[in-house]
């Protein structure tokens, strides 16, 4: 999806612990990964309003509670990574 929409090739560095989350009508188990950009896009599509955010700045932006759980894992130095 990131390559198709933004021209980004991703390298998966490892997986983070599974995260269960309940939405109002559904229970999901998210399988998050820690990734890096393997090949950056020369230009992002002009129609996309996007920008990079450093993990330390995640709390400044409105993200869902489900994504907040994953952001906390990224920020935690003791997050358990699996290859």
* 57 domain-assigned: yes
* 10 domain-assigned: yes
Counted domains in the chain = 1
pLDDT digits (tens, 9 = 90+) for 40-82: 666 666 656 777 788 888 888 888 888 888 888 888 766 555 5
* 23 domain-assigned: yes
* 50 domain-assigned: yes
Domain containing 28 equals 2-75
* 29 domain-assigned: yes
pLDDT digits (tens, 9 = 90+) for 8-50: 888 998 888 898 988 888 999 999 988 888 876 666 666 567 7
Whole-structure pTM value: 0.67
* 80 domain-assigned: no
Give the chain as a DSSP string: -HHHHH--EEEEEEEPPPEEEE-SS-EEEE--EEEEEEE--SS--TT-------GGGGGGS---HHHHHHHHHHH-TTPPPB-
Read off the pLDDT band of 83 (50, 70, 90). Answer: very low
* 82 domain-assigned: no
């Amino acid at each position: 999806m990131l390559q198709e929409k933004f021209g980004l090739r991703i390298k998966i560095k490892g997986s983070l612990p599974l995260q269960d989350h309940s939405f109002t009508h559904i229970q999901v188990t998210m399988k998050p990964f820690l990734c890096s950009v393997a090949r950056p896009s020369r230009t992002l599509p002009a129609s996309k309003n996007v920008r990079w955010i450093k993990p330390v700045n995640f709390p400044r932006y409105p993200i869902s509670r489900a994504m907040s759980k994953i952001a906390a894992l990224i920020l935690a130095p003791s997050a358990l990574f699996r290859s």
